[in-house]
Amino acid sequence: MSGFGQCRFCSENPFAVLFGSKPEEKKTRVQVAPKAKTPSKRNEANFQRRSEEEVKETVARWEMYVHPRAKEFFSDAKQLEEVLSQLAKGTDRNADPVLGSDKECVHWYGDVTKDELQAAIRMVKPGESSESITYVNRVLAFLFATDESFEKLMQLPKEPFRMSCGDQLCVNLAHISVSTC
């Protein structure tokens, strides 16, 4: 074992690698707006909110697909459940960013950043006491991406992932691009 060093995923906080360092979080934290006009194809008039029962059902369905790295990271099951609940509440009841079709966009109806118009959630990361803003597509990748895909995504800059459909308010896991363009 002495010939092998720890990989950067094992030696660093996975959320710091995935979501960036504290200074980047502060920059984003002040730029969140509950509703923002966007060039996205999303139509807020068509948004159908999930009922509390539908949120619980969706969370239970998604929990079966959460990657072990995320289950290990969220040592408290309540924290993971809260993040999954926010994701369910921010997406239409007729769309599924995790298990739905890879052909259709799944638009985000929760918080977005003001300047860049990126889908975002507020969360307290494990081991921290203050709430921070995190990009939804990075959370989805952390929670559900395969090891191979996750490794490729971790090579990209610590900013929101580009979506292959071109709509940054789409949060369909299948639309996350490993490209920087």
Q: Domain residue spans in the chain?
A: 8-32+46-175
Instruction: Give the pLDDT score at 180.
Output: 63
Between the alpha carbon of residue 71 and those of residues 15, 105, 130, 144, the distances in Å are 13, 27, 21, 10
For Cα atoms 135, 141, 143, give the angle at the middle one, nearest 5 degrees.
100
Instruction: Give the pLDDT score at 94.
Output: 96
Q: Sign of torsion, CA 64 67 70 72? A: positive
User: Quick one: which of 17, 33, 24, 22 has its CA closest to 115?
Assistant: 33
Map residue 140 onto helix, strand or coil: helix
Average pLDDT over residues 6-26: 43
pLDDT in tens, 125-164: 777 888 889 999 999 999 999 999 999 998 988 899 999 9
pLDDT of 83 higher than 60: yes
User: Quick one: which of 105, 176, 133 has its CA closest to 29?
Assistant: 133
Cβ contacts of residue 31 below 8 Å, gap of 6+? 113, 114, 115, 116, 133
Between the alpha carbon of residue 143 and those of residues 43, 44, 96, the distances in Å are 27, 26, 14
CB atoms within 10 A of CB 94: 12
The structure tokens listed for 76 are: 């408290």
Q: Among 34-38, 67-71, 88-92, name the one with the lowest average pLDDT.
A: 34-38
Q: Does the pTM exceed 0.85?
A: no
The structure tokens listed for 136 are: 């939804």
How many angstroms separate the CA atoms of 63 and 54, rounded?
14
Instruction: Give the pLDDT score at 40.
Output: 79
Map residue 103 onto helix, strand or coil: coil
Average pLDDT over residues 107-121: 92
pLDDT of 7 higher than 60: no
Residue 33, φ and ψ in degrees, nearest 5: -125, 135
pLDDT of 30 higher than 70: no
